[in-house]
Structure 1
Amino acid sequence: MNEITGEQKLLAILAHISYFLGGLGFIIAPLVIFLLKKDDSFVYHHAKQALVAHLSILVASFIVSSLCILVIGVFLLPIVGLLWLILLITSIIAASKAFYGETYQYPFIQKLMNTF
């Protein structure tokens, strides 16, 4: 079995906690890592998990924001807030798993992962 290097761990952690970069950095960072590290199964797995999780929350936020125009979305704002909190917690768990050289699968997105 291959030993996971410090660089691999760093890239995997960066993919998971990239929402601290602000703006669309939380999509761009895992996407760049995902595209550049296809030959590294450990980093690729973590970047793919982070990218799909971050894209999912972005799409959900966009839909709720769009529905806010129709007033319906106002009632969904607490749900989106809860989803962002879940993303924060699961990203920290995923980053800690990456730090220890382990894989992680985000909850709720595995059906999306199979299509991506």
Structure 2
Amino acid sequence: MSEFDNVTAPPPPPTGTAPQEDRTIALLTHLSGILFGFIVPLIIWLVNKDKTDKGWLNDQAIESLNFQITVFIAFVVSWILAFVLIGLLLMPLIGIANLVLCIIAGMKANNGEAYRYPFALRLIK
């Protein structure tokens, strides 16, 4: 096993431009993480996972889902750490990072670019 086996996967190569409908749904998928967490990305992925023409949309839904699961885990850890007061400092930082990164991802997705969050556990592939 080499040191490069655990590197973040690059976005898939563009296979033309994504249809406007897919770009809009991807935008909503990323932005929904701000309010609804991982629920909307999970629904979008489950609805479209077997459709071969929705590859780009599935990739963005999985990316958003993985990031929202990571944010959820971070909130749970910070809640546990709140008993030693460190978590109280982490919770607002996690919330701000979630807000900013979801907006950036939504803007990129609306432009048809495949976005990768800078830190996310890749639990679903």
Q: What TM-score does the superposition give when structure 2 sets the normalisation length?
A: 0.76
Q: Could you report, residue by residue, the CA deviation over 1:28-81 in whole angstroms, capped at 9, with x for unpaired residues?
A: 11000011112311111111111111111112112222343xx21x22222231
The unaligned stretches of length 5 or more in structure 1 are none
1:48 alignment partner in structure 2: 62
CA distance in 2, matches of 1:46, 1:80: 25
| 1:2 shift after superposition | 3.8
Identity %: 28
Q: State the match for 1:11 in structure 2.
A: 25
Q: Are 1:77 and 2:91 counterparts?
A: no
Letter in 2 for 1:66: I
In structure 1, what is the Cα distance between the partners aligned to 2:119 and 2:16? Answer: 29
Give RMSD over aligned pairs: 1.7
Match for 2:71: what amino acid?
I
The whole-number CA distance in structure 2 between the counterparts of 1:45 and 1:77 is 33
Q: Is the 8 A contact 2:78 2:90 kept in 1?
A: no
Contact 2:33 2:41 in 1 (8 A): no
**What is the match of residue 72 of structure 2?**
58
**Higher relative helix content:** 1
How many residue pairs align between the two structures?
Answer: 107
Structure 1 residues 62, 83: closer, same or farther in 2, change over 3 A? same
- 1:94 CA displacement: 0.7
TM-score (norm 1): 0.81
The residue aligned with 1:96 is 107
SS at match of 2:38: helix
Structure 2 spans left out of the alignment, 5+ residues: 1-14
